[in-house]
Amino acid sequence: MQLDPTDMEVVTRRLKRAQGQLGGIVKMIEEGRDCRDIVTQLAAVNRALDRAGFAMISIGMRQCLTAQDDCEALDVEAMEKLFLSLA
């Protein structure tokens, strides 16, 4: 299924933020920063990626429910599998 690029801007912003955080983590490691600070930032990136994934699934579900004629049949098992892959 193709997702609406306008709706995907939210996901893109989250991913760009996570990308910036990853760059910051690399810099922290190179500078020899404290392990706790690095792990805290890694956890933040992890959450950002999870939220981007959940947002993408949510957008897809909403799109399928509102425009069913443009969407393949909503496969409940496939959607559940996607959600669980992020857990």
Structural domains of the chain in order of their starting residue, each with its CATH number: 9-85 (1.20.58.1000)
pTM metric for this prediction: 0.76
Per-residue pLDDT of the chain (87 residues; tens, 9 = 90+): 678 888 899 999 999 999 999 999 999 999 999 999 999 999 999 999 999 998 988 888 887 777 765 566 556 677 778 778 877
CA 56 to chain centre: 7
> What pLDDT score was predicted for residue 71?
61
